[in-house]
Every structure is written in structure tokens, then in C-alpha cells.
Structure 1
Amino acid sequence: MTFVALLRGINLGAKNKVDMKSLKVLFEEMGYENVRTYIQTGNVIFDNTAYDILEMERELFETYGFDIPVVIRNKAELEEIQRHPIFLKEQVYVMFLANEISDEQQALLDSLIDDEFVVWNRKNIIISLSKNYHQTKFTNTFFEKKLGMVSTARNQNTVNKILLKM
């Protein structure tokens, strides 16, 4: 099965630098197959029958010296997102959540969001913004604080390109 590890918070400006070649080697050393990366924001595509997020996060910390949260999705999950009607609009971002949200968290989101969005499969938020991502309050940090869990954002173009590489 093909997966993508979506790394949170690397290579943002001068902070948390991670070289993609060394990242590829690290995943190969952990036993993952057919490892490839896509752009500097930390998308590691690999083939395997299983994965261990805690091992990935531990190895990333030991190698790079800072915490790098990891969110995993498989190819089928990304294809479902790609087919969603909201995903086909402009200014679309996907917040990939580390865990499924509860009914209470869903109700909280329903009361807060004023742009068009959908929580998909209780672990992805697809949002079509009426404003630029950097002008909206609905950023990755916003969702992490409101939901109390790690998430990582990717724009529509990045999701599409990851899928092409899978």
C-alpha cells in the first residue's frame, strides 16, 4: 500500500530545516520501501504494509533535534478528498488531523466556520477560503488550538501533486 507522511512545521523560512535527501534516507533506514519526497514542506511518500508514527517521530527527533509531528494518509484517502465537490473550488486547503474528531469537536467547528468547509471522514477538514490563506483566521494553528490536536495543512495543488507521485 502507498502512504504519504505529512510532516508538520519543517522548512518554514529559516526554522526547522530538514534536507529532503537525508529525510528520504532516514525513511529507507526505517525500512520503508520506494521512498520519495515532494517539495520542501515535508511530504514523504512510501510503500509498505504498515507504518509506525511513533517510530517516525522518534527517529525524526533524534536525527534533526526538534519535534516533527507526522500525519499519515494513504492513496485512497487522498483520492476521496480529491473527488469531494469542495476540493474542486478555488483557494482550497486541507487540514489533515492527527486523530478523528469527536461529536463535540464537530459541533464546535460547525459553530465557528464561516467559509465553506467540510469535515471529511472525521479526520480531514477541506476548506474553500473566501480570503487568502494568510489572511484568514482558519489556519492550521487555529484548528490545532480549537481541536487540541496536531494537524498539518496542504493546499489543493500540493495534494494533487502528491497523488501524482503515489
Structure 2
Amino acid sequence: MSVSFVALLRGINLGAKNKVEMKSLKALFEDLGYENVRTYIQTGNVIFDNIVYDVLQLEHALRETYGFDIPVTVRSKAELEEIQQHPIFLKDQVYVMFLENEISDDQQTLLDSLIDDEFVVWHRRNVIISLSKNYHQTKFTNAFF
């Protein structure tokens, strides 16, 4: 039985940089054996079904096809639904950052000490943030992690 996943490709289609056509991206995933592949506009988000996935295989195939490194993060449909059920989503400005690895206890202690008017939840490999200010004014951007 296959499972639905979302592959989040970072750093593509940003203005004129790192252009990736969604039609060729879809074909690449299909050539790698993934099923029911679809892309979401020009975001680099790829939805697919399979029993398993291999991030290293995906990143290697993307590098070979497009000529530049494209970091990939994958989440299952079940993981995304679990995140969406978190009570923090009752607030107005909520953002989720998807990390490759879980935050260590030492990192969490450091991050906890930096929180002021932001509410941050570490949920496995995901950081869920509720902000009282604009996202670009927070300390907790992707660059922080």
C-alpha cells in the first residue's frame, strides 16, 4: 500500500535563478518510480505516492538533471495532517519550517532562551511559530536553522 508524500524543494524558481520547469520535475519523479506525481504551481512542491522515498536519490537526480544542488525535505501526508491539528493554528500568524533533523536538547534550550513575544513549538523535525509581528522581523527564520 502506497503512502502520500510531499517533497519540498528549496531554492528553486526564485526570480531568474535556479529555474526548474514543473513538467520536467514531474517526469523526473515518475522516472524514479514514484507514482501519482503532481506538482504545485511553480513552488517546487511535489506530491507523490510510494511505499518509501530516498532523499539522497532525489537530490542526486535533481543535481544531475538541473546542474545545481537542490535541498529536499519530505513529509508524509499523515505528518502534515498532524502538524495542522496543533492548537497553535488557532492563532492568526502561524508559520511552519520543515527541518531535516530534529532539534537537539541543547539547541532547544538555547532557542527557548531567545523567545520573547513569539510562541514557538518544536514538533519533531518541524518548527511551528506564532508571531505577533511580521515574519521578516522574527529571529526564527530559515536562516536561523
Do both proteins adopt the same fold according to a TM-score greater than 0.5, normalized to the shorter chain?
A: yes
Structure 1, residues 94-125: CA drift from partner, whole Å, max 9, x if none? 010001121111112211233111001x2100
SS, match of residue 16 in structure 1: coil
| Structure 1 runs (4+) greater than 4 angstroms displaced | none
Matches within 5 A, 1:1-166: 1-114=3-116, 115-120=118-123, 122-143=124-145
Higher relative contact order (CA 8 A, sep 6+): 1
The two structures, once aligned, show a CA RMSD in angstroms of 1.2
Give the TM-score normalised by structure 2. Answer: 0.92
Q: What percent identity do the matched residue pairs reach? A: 79
1:28 shift after superposition:
0.4
- Bigger radius of gyration, 1 or 2? 2
Q: Which has the higher helix share?
A: 1
SS of the aligned residue for 2:74 comes to strand
Where do 5+ consecutive residues of structure 1 fail to align? 144-166
SS at match of 1:131: coil
Distance 1:27 1:40 in 2: 16
Q: Which runs of 5+ in 2 are unaligned?
A: none
Q: CA deviation at 1:39?
A: 2.7
TM-score (norm 1): 0.81
- Number of aligned residues: 142
